């Protein structure tokens, strides 16, 4: 039977306490003049970016290059070579078909893909803490903390997402650890401070049932060393790592995000749209600036409407919670060819898309299953 121990003044019993929150109750922390509104909320806050002037005015664009552009015509030789390359990359496809098939018809279309990228920065703050190791404290006595959008940081390369965390200057406070109440250790929940637990083999009886000899696992003592605390009876406080004090400070979290809007112009062929969204295209138009404006006079009206819709969606989504650093919109030409071919008396179809001649096969005549995944 487990024995009871009297309370030790050097440790505190937290066996049945819930896990510590991210930060202690806000009443334990003094109010910082620059952050009264943060402490009142008691949780992380999102900070609206300051308003900035818009970029350059919209410019008239000439689309003569689009009207004059011609995508190379797809030939039977190129179509067959594209299928052979695709088949050779698949272990379950017979290359005989690609060599013997008869191409009956090539339906070629040129699609336009509009893409808008908006690179933005958002900032939130929250109270956090770390064990205090007697280093210098950058607290409110050194001055008022700057507003979060006034803190200068190095911005990552444009359109590359990143998350970084910074300690807000002059926001540090040193307090007794709220988990162990400044003791640095607490009673082990596995043995309740005893350092030993009942032997799992003999259940504390020192001998196994119906056996006269003593239990070999516990050498007849009925108890085993607690594996949770290695027999010490107490554990180092996981919150303060045994330092007894915590350094509380306001943490600034900066998130750089690249929002993406894509649109592929309509087509009458049955090639999946998700493949065309990822296809390699030929760049026709690129506009990059702190703010880009909707395309209004592109020869394909769907592209102009997509540009207007994409910019409006990004503006509505980011206006109240992030600062837009850079925008980039592009138009690419995506060649798409539907290939009808005949093989052993039946008609089949496959698609060639992108400038690098990727292939999508609807129903290949000779395909074998050998345990691999067929795409």
Q: Residue 241 falls within a domain, yes or no? A: no
Q: What is the mean pLDDT of residues 313-325?
A: 91
Residues 213 and 295 in one domain: no
Residues 226 and 268 in one domain: no
Give the model confidence (pLDDT) of 74-101 as tens digits: 999 999 999 999 988 887 777 788 888 8
Burial pattern 277-306, b for ≥16 Cβ within 10 A else e, equals eebebeebbebeeebbbbbeebebeebbbb
Q: What is the mean pLDDT of residues 23-46?
A: 51
Q: Residue 218 falls within a domain, yes or no? A: yes
Q: Residue 50 falls within a domain, yes or no? A: no
Cα–Cα distance measured from residue 272 to residue 360, given in angstroms and rounded to the nearest whole number? 9
Domain, as residue range, for 92: 63-117+257-373
Cα–Cα distance measured from residue 182 to residue 274, given in angstroms and rounded to the nearest whole number? 58
Q: Residue 12 falls within a domain, yes or no? A: no
Residues 199 and 288 in one domain: no
Q: Residue 340 falls within a domain, yes or no? A: yes
The pair of structure tokens assigned to 8 is 């030790």
Q: Residue 31 falls within a domain, yes or no? A: no
Cα–Cα distance measured from residue 118 to residue 261, given in angstroms and rounded to the nearest whole number? 9
Residues 273 and 231 in one domain: no
Residues 270 and 194 in one domain: no
Residues 273 and 228 in one domain: no
Domain count, the chain: 2
Residues 270 and 360 in one domain: yes
Cα–Cα distance measured from residue 206 to residue 183, given in angstroms and rounded to the nearest whole number? 36
109 has a pLDDT exceeding 70: yes
Q: Residue 168 falls within a domain, yes or no? A: no
Residues 232 and 261 in one domain: no
Residues 197 and 271 in one domain: no
12 pLDDT band, cuts 50/70/90, is very low
Give the model confidence (pLDDT) of 222-266 as tens digits: 888 888 888 888 888 989 999 999 999 999 999 999 999 999 998
Residue after which a domain boundary falls, among 177, 201, 236:
236
- Looking at every residue in the chain, the average pLDDT score rounds to 81
Question: What pLDDT shows up at residue 61?
Answer: 66
Q: Residue 146 falls within a domain, yes or no? A: no
């Amino acid at each position: 039977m487990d024995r009871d121990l009297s309370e030790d003044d050097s440790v505190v019993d937290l066996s049945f306490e819930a896990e510590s929150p991210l930060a202690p109750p806000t009443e334990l922390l003094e109010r910082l003049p620059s952050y009264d509104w943060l402490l009142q909320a008691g949780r992380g806050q999102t900070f609206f970016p300051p308003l900035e002037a818009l970029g350059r005015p919209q410019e008239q664009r000439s689309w003569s290059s689009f009207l004059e552009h011609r995508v190379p015509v797809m030939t039977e030789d190129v179509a067959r070579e594209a299928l052979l390359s695709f088949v050779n990359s698949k272990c379950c496809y017979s290359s005989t078909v690609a060599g013997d098939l008869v191409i009956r018809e090539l339906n070629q279309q040129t699609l336009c893909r509009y893409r808008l990228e908006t690179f933005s920065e958002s900032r939130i703050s929250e109270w956090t803490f770390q064990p205090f190791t007697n280093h210098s404290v950058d607290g409110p006595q050194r001055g008022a903390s700057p507003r979060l959008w006034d803190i200068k940081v190095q911005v990552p390369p444009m359109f590359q997402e990143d998350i970084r965390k910074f300690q807000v200057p002059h926001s540090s406070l040193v307090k007794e650890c709220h988990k162990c109440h400044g003791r640095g250790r607490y009673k082990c929940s596995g043995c309740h401070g005893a350092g030993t637990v009942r032997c799992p083999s003999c259940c504390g009886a020192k001998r196994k049932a119906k056996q006269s000899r003593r239990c070999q696992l516990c050498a007849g003592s009925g108890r085993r060393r607690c594996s949770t605390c290695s027999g010490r009876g107490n554990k180092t406080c996981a919150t303060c790592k045994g330092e007894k004090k915590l350094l509380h400070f306001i943490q600034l979290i900066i998130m750089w995000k690249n929002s993406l809007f894509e649109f592929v112009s309509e087509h009458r062929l049955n090639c999946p749209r998700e493949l065309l969204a990822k296809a390699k295209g030929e760049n026709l138009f690129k506009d990059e600036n702190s703010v880009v404006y909707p395309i209004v006079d592109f020869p394909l009206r769907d592209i102009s409407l997509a540009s207007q819709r994409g910019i409006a969606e990004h503006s509505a989504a980011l206006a109240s919670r992030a600062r837009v650093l850079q925008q980039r919109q592009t138009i690419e030409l995506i060649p798409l060819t539907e290939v009808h071919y005949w093989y052993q008396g039946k008609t089949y179809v496959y698609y060639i898309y992108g400038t690098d001649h990727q292939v999508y096969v609807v129903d290949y005549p000779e395909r074998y299953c050998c345990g691999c995944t067929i795409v």
